[in-house]
Copies of this chain bind each other. A is one copy, B any other.
Amino acid sequence: MLRWNNDYNHGAHPAILQCLEQTNDTAYPGYGTDEPCEAARKEILKYLDNDAVDIHFLIGGTQVNYTMIAAALRPYQGVVCADSAHIHVHETGAVENTGHKILALPGVEGKLTAEAIRAEAEGYRTSGVQEHITQPKFVFLSHPSEYGTIYSKKELTDIRSVCDEYGLYLYVDGARMGYGLGADSADVTLADLAKLADAFYVGGTKCGAMFGEALVIANDALKDHFRSYMKQNGALLAKGWLLGLQFYTLFKDGLYFDITGHADVQAMRIRDAFRKKGIPFYIESNTNQQFVILTDEQMDKIGEKHIFEYESKLDDVHHVVRFCTSWSTNTEDVDVLLSDIEAL
């Protein structure tokens, strides 16, 4: 069976394991104040055009999201996100567990729009009973979104304008950042994000690392005592250098972009195969997640050799399913999938 169900079902890129092995006999001070973390920061900075950022390495996506939100917000402030956002539907109320309300707005293909954010912020500003309602303060985007769609530079710039106008923080969840940056339709770079967002993270777990996410904080107001928040939330890894080593390896010679770009190419091959076959998409995506609508029969047939993720039932015979490529996807495995799609 070939696994296309998600993009975190393999260990790590071999270069990472190699690096961990080579340094295994070295003693480090830990907690992220070590040479490997410093070296990793330097490599990431090369892509940011902004030296005034803080970079922290955390362990997983849920943890980065709620720790950043807990650090950014006061108790009466909330998070604005699309109703499909991971923090709203798949993190067991981790954000609310920190005391903050999520103000979920209807997304468009999984994305928030500047207009929707503006309406929410303006609604608060003009409510007349501000002390009775949660202040929208933190805009949460995923790039790519839960549906694999990506923001254009224009869209991000428009959202930034609304954030500036209403004093909102703009944060980008980049669990699949590499796949977003590498999409053929992408016009957004890490340097753009370092300019437009107050904070964002560059995902490692789903993009070649064994585990780990690199959080970039650009806004000074969000930097204060962030390591205290990390410790308090179980996010200050004792052997912090393990994260530094991984991100150093991924960013040193652009490995991160090579392996996620490769995954995007393979995803486009799969997309084209479904298209050619006339199989409809639930939402069109240019990144490593492909959401197609299959019949019961098609699911059974393709399920003989392939594991994919079941998303939801559309009607009596149609279902939304997800196929993911990743940094670990083999071209040969994709060849097999393509011919099986063709044979549907």
- Decide if A50 is an interface residue (CB 8 Å cutoff): no
- Decide if A11 is an interface residue (CB 8 Å cutoff): yes
User: Least Cβ distance of A61 to chain B in Å?
Assistant: 8
A8-B239, A131-B231, A225-B135 given; A93·B76 CB < 8 A:
yes
Q: Which residues of A from 20 to 46 have beta carbons under 8 Å from B?
A: 20-21, 23-31
8 Å CB contact of A14 from B11, B24, B92: B24
Main SS of chain A's interface residues? loop
Q: Which residues of A from 148 to 177 have beta carbons under 8 Å from B?
A: none
Chain B residues with Cβ under 8 A from A27's Cβ? 3, 9-10
Chain B residues with Cβ under 8 A from A235's Cβ? 234
Chain B residues with Cβ under 8 A from A237's Cβ? 59-60, 211
Residue of B nearest to A4 (CB): B27
A18 to B102, CA, bound (A): 44
Are A21 and B17 closer than 8 Å at their CB atoms? yes
Q: Which of A28, A62, A70 has the most CB of B within 10 A?
A: A62
8 Å CB contact of A131 from B21, B23, B227: B227
Are A100 and B89 closer than 8 Å at their CB atoms? no
Are A90 and B132 closer than 8 Å at their CB atoms? yes
